[in-house]
Amino acid sequence: MANQRKSQRAPCDIYLNKIVDEARHLARARDISPDGIWISKVLEPAAGQQQVGLEFQLPGSSEVIWAAGEVVRDETREAATGPVEGTAVKFTAMADRYRRMIEVYVSRTAGNA
């Protein structure tokens, strides 16, 4: 698959809430950029939802980030434990300060990965 990323990504191993039809579902982030996040599937309904809400905290931060996103693709990635099913989500709405927090996190973390 061609690299479709427009901005730098950083590893981000956190659990978060993926909100689908007003219900929260546990998910786990693997990496993040100011433009989007890759989430492995943990506990969630069947695929088919294109619009999701997200609530999460960046590592080392106590502030909860709220964002809306659009599922841009489902894919399987290889991990140390075997294949992991996940979803690439493009951020469609979030407060500017949250996006800046992500930019700072990525700039500090991506170079150390």
Q: How does DSSP assign 1-35, residue by residue?
A: ------S--EEEEEEEEEEETTEEEEEEEEEE-SS
* Structural domain range at position 48: 10-112
- Distance between alpha carbon 70 and the CA centroid of its chain, in Å? 11
pTM exceeding 0.85? no
In a domain, 2, yes or no: no
Express each pLDDT in 1-28 by its tens digit.
Answer: 444 556 789 999 999 999 988 888 889 9
The backbone region for 22, taken as left when phi is positive above 0, alpha when psi lies in -120 to 50, beta otherwise, is: left
Q: Which residue is listed with tokens 């982030």?
A: 29
In a domain, 51, yes or no: yes
In a domain, 45, yes or no: yes
Decide if pLDDT at 67 tops 80: yes
In a domain, 79, yes or no: yes
| Number of domains the chain contains | 1
CATH number, domain of 22, equals 2.40.10.220
In a domain, 57, yes or no: yes
What is the predicted pLDDT for the residue at 2? Answer: 43
